[in-house]
Structure 1
Amino acid sequence: MGSRNGSPVAAGPAEIFTDLRAEADRIRELLAREVPESDVEPPPEEAPAAHVARHAEEERARVLAAGARGLEKLAEGRDDEIGDDESFGLEAIVLLTGRPAILVQAGDFAPQEGEWAVLDGHREAIRESIARVGRVDVSGHLSLDWVGTGFLVGADVVMTNRHVAVEFARGDGTGWTFRPGLGAALDMAREFGQLPGAGGLTYAVTEVVGVHDEVDMALLRVAPAPGGQPLPTPLAVAADAPADLPGRQVYVVGHPAWDGRRNEPESMRRIFMDVYNVKRLQPGAANQLLPTGDRPGAAGQGGRGGNVMTHDCSTLGGNSGSPVFDLADHRVLGLHFGGRYGFGNYAVPLWTMPDDPLVGRADLNFV
């Protein structure tokens, strides 16, 4: 498969699926179960939308069928025969079934099949995680209306990335303040089909607690709007390293963003069906602790001790600042800050940070 620098996919199908032929058969079975289009014509006012939806379904089926052919070629060791359509189809299968980016609606997610049917058994705990993650919106910015993802880690403290916070905050050597004319808020309900700020679930950023000098981390203080809902209890942050990190099932909650500067617009449109910038659940696996020096462009972004945690959840730019949860106990293992196709995605391992001065000052909920 060719390199796609803006791809959300961090691992290839051979690394994710244990039986490539079985996955090809499952994809074809899924396509065979598709309900045929109705012969009944929609009302005139609904016809354009119906036509677009039908075209999207047909395109998705075509891409998945090409990917199934690619899986069979991989299984037979015929990698050099995989064409562009099959290459993209393989990537789509990884994203749609192996490492999906599942839409969140009403704080919940649709039942999953295959490997990720396991999520249903954790539904209540995952719903609690989802409710404590929001989109970092900005006001007064010349070109942006949101800048990343953040999550509640203290009674009134949110964690995000340094490169997210510097879009609206600045430091003077003694502390951090808002840039003149800019403000920020955390919208916990920025979901597909949901109006901005619906349900009183937007919290104003009232203070920049601090921006880390060495790690891609920022801590923000938030407060409810007058008459709005109180803040939920914070997420549990892992105070110790998980056992057997490689292969451990994890999930990210964040807001994948379309960015024409980095992503392939047509590819991303076909995979995400033009639905970006809203909350998604993105399951995957943790891989390893990687010394920062072994990662391209990694200066000043790992945890204390110079390590980063790698994972293969499907992410895009708007996932900056997302939490990486342990599916076993739903503690936050890492702070996602970036990724590179074919190498993996990267997170600050938070269990290395309890004695950090900035973290200690913010009184995070380490468990």
Structure 2
Amino acid sequence: MRRWFMHLGALVLAGGAAAQSPLAEFDPADFGKVVIQPRQSTSGAGGIAFEQAFGNYQNEPVIAYGEGSQAVRLGRPVGRLDMLFEDGSTGFCTAFIVDDTHLLTNYHCIPGLPRDGVQPQVKAAQFVAGYIRPGHGEGVDRYTVAPNAVEADRALDYAVLEVFGDPSQTYGRLELAGVDPEDGEFLWIIGHPQGQSQHISREGCAASSPAVSGEGKLMHTCDTLGGNSGSPVLRLSDKRVVALHHAGDSRTGYNMAIPMARILAVSKFLKGAEGLPAAAPAPLPEVPAGACDALWAEAKGQGCAGYGAYLASCGTHAFAGLARNLQASDCGTAAPAVIHGALTVKPSGGDFPTLAEAVQRAPYGARVSVWPGVYSGPVYVTKDIEITGAGPRDQIVIDGVMHWSRGRGAVRGLTLRQGVAVDGGSLTLEDNVITSPATGIALRGGDAVVRANLVQQTGEAGVSISSNGAVRVEANRITRSAHAGIEIRDGAAPEVFDNEISDGAQSGVYLHSGGGGVLRGNEIHHNAFHAISAKGAVKPVVRGNRLHSNGYDAVRLREGAGGTWEDNDLSGNRAGGFRVEPDAGNVLLRGNRE
């Protein structure tokens, strides 16, 4: 009869008498520390164990590849899981971030398999993130983990754990793939063997052939040790997690992992990305120029339906731009009819090595997925396109100005070091980090939605708005601008809602040259000058804002500036609330608190 024996460092399948392996544990007094030494190493008596290294052990510290390396960037969501049990025992595993509140690891880590018929009780657990330098705990973060799994499956050896403090904001998260790897496909495993700093197994690391055994296990040749339990198995094609490492068999020379597709099929908490590797979209069938000429002639007579049919087949034809404009103006619909599969931008191995090249060569309506890396040079957008970061936004850096002059689309999840300039078209700019030696976001033409961005350390204004189009600026954090946090000028009338504007070297908001619009629900504080300064023929509606802790008055109106100012909190500024100069215009003040 076969029996399973559990130790956090090793699980051994033996026939007859029990064959135990020493526990990979640490001194309970060291719980909560970063650099801790295992008491013993895992070395089994043969058979199936939770981690095994075969032959020439080739699991390397990730830092050996350099702090800016792909290995280090990819491993950021991976951390060490430290467990302290009620009986005084301890153990290491690996876990990784899957969303803002959850980690994924092995069931045999938490809640753990019974020992001598008794279920172990976890007293405390922590997630150690950013531990990449051997023996050094500087710059490492520790997060509390709930000792009880929110979802667990013993048969599939996985557990979803709740983590507190949202480590995904700093370290990102890994995407889960919903299909199995191909036979012989190259893999990476990143984890914390023996509780050491983060290591990567990549040399000789591959799926077997066939990749998945008849028992539904991914068989692989990646070297692991005790502590690697719960490590993500990543495929090289798109760096998504295809399996959860959990065991090894010294008799066959293979380690084993649970395919992520099996886990996703039963989990209520985990969400998988599309399973297939990212690849260039299949090209649209070529339509002869003569046929597009005929379709265009037909489209003009059919109106809205005709424009859509024409664009679906002839999106790059000579009259496609005109058709989009007519469709937008006459039909009130977004212009492009065709959205292609995502193109990938990666430093190596993607469809394009730079974002500039991807935007230039992508078809109209394309989706572009930008992977971690630093991409230099300006980006010029003159077409309908959607650009999205595929990873933590602080690791996806565009080191060149993004110029948007035509087309409808979106830019999400990037770090833009040289700012964004919008001169036309329609852009949604969302969830980005934006810095610039000049203006962070210059909205000079077209329509724009600027939402949930961090705009910081700009050499001029954080956001400058001079466009007469429809502009909405909402829920952004704008901080440490050398000029105004938001400048509104030249007749622009944006909606500015629910932003935090702080720590600027001048005023939080500066309206001049006919600028106006609606400002509502903003918090404007700790700016060197005024919260809001306005001059010239400006008549904004400013309602329900909190303006506090600024260096001068909350509001200064001069040289004809007027408008409606109601229900604002202007208390706590250094020089007072309203300062209405004698040369100001017509001002309506109602329900404000100073």
Q: TM-score, normalised by structure 2?
A: 0.33
In the TM superposition, residue 256 of structure 1 has moved relative to its aligned partner by 1.6
Paired position in structure 2 for 1:193: 134
Residue 290 (str. 1) matches residue 213 (str. 2): yes
Deviation per CA, 1:230-279: give whole Å up to 9, x if none: 4533201112233xx2221101011222xxxxxxxxxxxxxxxxxx6332
Residue 241 (str. 1) matches residue 241 (str. 2): no
SS at structure 2 position matched to 1:164:
coil
Paired position in structure 2 for 1:338: 247
Paired position in structure 2 for 1:21: none
Q: Distance in 1 between matches of 2:272 and 2:99?
A: 6
Equivalent in 102, 109, 134 of residue 60 of structure 2: 102
Deviation per CA, 1:82-103: give whole Å up to 9, x if none: xxxxxxxxx66x32xxxx2111
In the TM superposition, residue 155 of structure 1 has moved relative to its aligned partner by 2.6
In the TM superposition, residue 192 of structure 1 has moved relative to its aligned partner by 4.3
SS at structure 1 position matched to 2:245:
strand
Verify the 8 A CA contact 2:132 2:197 in the aligned structure 1. yes
Paired position in structure 2 for 1:279: 198
In the TM superposition, residue 169 of structure 1 has moved relative to its aligned partner by 11
Task: Report the AA paired with residue 240 of structure 2.
Answer: R
Verify the 8 A CA contact 1:156 1:231 in the aligned structure 2. no
Q: Distance in 1 between matches of 2:214 and 2:105?
A: 22
Task: Report the AA paired with residue 256 of structure 2.
Answer: Y
- After superposition, residues 61-210 of structure 1 pair within 5 angstroms as 94-95=56-57, 100-105=58-63, 109-110=64-65, 124-139=69-84, 142-167=87-112, 179=121, 182-196=123-137, 198-199=138-139, 201-206=141-146, 208-210=149-151
In the TM superposition, residue 336 of structure 1 has moved relative to its aligned partner by 0.4
Paired position in structure 2 for 1:211: 152
Verify the 8 A CA contact 1:235 1:365 in the aligned structure 2. no
In the TM superposition, residue 314 of structure 1 has moved relative to its aligned partner by 0.6
Q: Tell which structure's C-alpha radius of gyration is larger.
A: 2
Residue ranges of structure 1 left out of the alignment (5+ in a row):
1-7, 9-90, 112-119, 171-175, 258-275, 293-306
In the TM superposition, residue 140 of structure 1 has moved relative to its aligned partner by 5.6
SS at structure 1 position matched to 2:200:
strand
Deviation per CA, 1:299-348: give whole Å up to 9, x if none: xxxxxxxx000100111121111110001210101000010124210000
Q: Which has the higher strand share?
A: 2
Residue 355 (str. 1) matches residue 295 (str. 2): no
In the TM superposition, residue 281 of structure 1 has moved relative to its aligned partner by 0.5
Q: 1:291 to 1:156 in 2, by over 3 A?
A: same
Q: Distance in 2 between matches of 1:168 and 1:289?
A: 25
In the TM superposition, residue 291 of structure 1 has moved relative to its aligned partner by 1.7
Q: Distance in 1 between matches of 2:89 and 2:151?
A: 22
Q: 1:144 to 1:191 in 2, by over 3 A?
A: farther
Q: Distance in 2 between matches of 1:200 and 1:256?
A: 17
In the TM superposition, residue 188 of structure 1 has moved relative to its aligned partner by 1.4
Task: Report the AA paired with residue 184 of structure 2.
Answer: G
Q: Distance in 2 between matches of 1:346 and 1:286?
A: 10
Deviation per CA, 1:66-112: give whole Å up to 9, x if none: xxxxxxxxxxxxxxxxxxxxxxxxx66x32xxxx211133xxx337x
Q: Distance in 2 between matches of 1:126 and 1:135?
A: 16
Paired position in structure 2 for 1:364: 271
Task: Report the AA paired with residue 331 of structure 1.
Answer: R
Paired position in structure 2 for 1:54: none
SS at structure 1 position matched to 2:264:
coil
Identity %: 24
Equivalent in 299, 323, 331 of residue 232 of structure 2: 323
In the TM superposition, residue 168 of structure 1 has moved relative to its aligned partner by 10
Q: Distance in 1 between matches of 2:197 and 2:140?
A: 17
Verify the 8 A CA contact 1:335 1:347 in the aligned structure 2. yes
SS at structure 1 position matched to 2:73:
helix
Q: Distance in 2 between matches of 1:310 and 1:349?
A: 10
Residue ranges of structure 2 left out of the alignment (5+ in a row):
1-9, 11-53, 275-594
Task: Report the AA paired with residue 179 of structure 1.
Answer: Q
Task: Report the AA paired with residue 261 of structure 2.
Answer: W
SS at structure 1 position matched to 2:273:
coil
Q: 1:190 to 1:127 in 2, by over 3 A?
A: closer
Q: TM-score, normalised by structure 1?
A: 0.51
- After superposition, residues 220-231 of structure 1 pair within 5 angstroms as 220-224=161-165, 230-231=169-170
Q: 1:231 to 1:205 in 2, by over 3 A?
A: farther
Q: Distance in 1 between matches of 2:73 and 2:107?
A: 25
Q: Distance in 1 between matches of 2:72 and 2:65?
A: 12
SS at structure 1 position matched to 2:227:
helix
Q: Which has the higher helix share?
A: 1
Verify the 8 A CA contact 1:126 1:330 in the aligned structure 2. no
Task: Report the AA paired with residue 206 of structure 2.
Answer: A
Q: Distance in 2 between matches of 1:110 and 1:124?
A: 6
How many residues get paired?
213
Q: Distance in 2 between matches of 1:152 and 1:222?
A: 9
Task: Report the AA paired with residue 142 of structure 2.
Answer: T
Q: Distance in 2 between matches of 1:168 and 1:349?
A: 20
Task: Report the AA paired with residue 231 of structure 2.
Answer: S
Task: Report the AA paired with residue 355 of structure 1.
Answer: A
- After superposition, residues 1-80 of structure 1 pair within 5 angstroms as none
Q: Distance in 1 between matches of 2:133 and 2:113?
A: 25
SS at structure 1 position matched to 2:196:
coil
Q: 1:314 to 1:200 in 2, by over 3 A?
A: closer
Verify the 8 A CA contact 2:62 2:71 in the aligned structure 1. no
Deviation per CA, 1:169-223: give whole Å up to 9, x if none: 99xxxxx9x937x111110133443445x43522211352121142111110112
| Superposed CA RMSD | 3.2
Verify the 8 A CA contact 1:320 1:337 in the aligned structure 2. yes
